[in-house]
Amino acid sequence: MHSEESRWSSEQGFGFVETLISIAVLTAVSVGVAQLFAVAALANHNAEANTSTAVLAIDKIEQLRALPWGFESLADGELGLPVSDSTTDVSVFPQASGGPGLLPSPSGKLEGNVPFYVDYLDGNGEWLGTGGSPTPGTVYIRRWAVDRLPASPTDTLVLRVLATTLRQELQRAAAGATGPRGKLPADSWLVTVKTRKAV
């Protein structure tokens, strides 16, 4: 009888130890899976934001490329005087007069919100406003720069567009980042050149 009680006690103890080990293993696996889900969710969010900023950057590059920058076409097929847009404001929607067009932009236009070289959009990419500070509802920020190509300053422009999220800009500001802006996960940077042609 005594040996049966001992065996019964040791079987009960073994079951309790097994249960504790199982709970510990299950907890460790659950924590690992939860971390994996968190990393996957962040990567998915960044990929979605990157897709949106890429589309918004392409839209702005195309808007800038559509502005007149060429030569007059003369009747005999010769090229006339240069034609340059120096009055369109592409920071408003719809674009209007009263802006710098394709004039060279001031320094710091991609690092901060410089009037005439920034606009703010909501989560659907709809224009909300422009100016030195984001308007309420801003999700995306677009900045652009127009520069002359040093090798051909009278005939060739370099157009640069940065589309980013307000969230990233706030994180960057909170970190005290200054100086040239590096690429962040949801950023889209586009660069193209525009050379004078007959218009």
pTM flag (> 0.85): no
pLDDT digits (tens, 9 = 90+) for 59-92: 999 999 999 998 888 777 777 888 999 999 999 9
Q: Is the peptide bond before 94 cis (omega within 30 degrees of 0)?
A: yes
Strand ranges (E), 31-176: 69-73, 79-84, 88-89, 96-97, 118-121, 127-129, 140-148, 156-165
Q: Please check the confidence at residue 8 and state whether its pLDDT lies above 80.
A: no
Average pLDDT over residues 12-37: 78
Give the CA count within 13 Å in the CB-facing half-sphere of 195.
Answer: 3
List, for residues 165-181, the tens digit of each pLDDT value. 999 999 888 888 777 77
Bigger pLDDT: 41 vs 96: 96
pLDDT recorded at residue 177:
77
Confidence check: pLDDT of 3 > 60: no
The predicted-structure confidence for 150-168, as pLDDT tens digits, reads as follows 999 999 999 999 999 999 9
3-state secondary structure of 182: coil
Task: Tell me if 113 sits within 8 A of 133, measured CB to CB.
Answer: yes
- As a whole number, the mean pLDDT across the chain is 86
Rounded Cα distance between 173 and 195, Å, is 36
The CA dihedral of 20, 24, 29, 33, to the nearest 10 degrees, is 110
Does 2 score more than 60 pLDDT?
Answer: no
Nearest to 113 by CA among 143, 147, 145, 89: 143
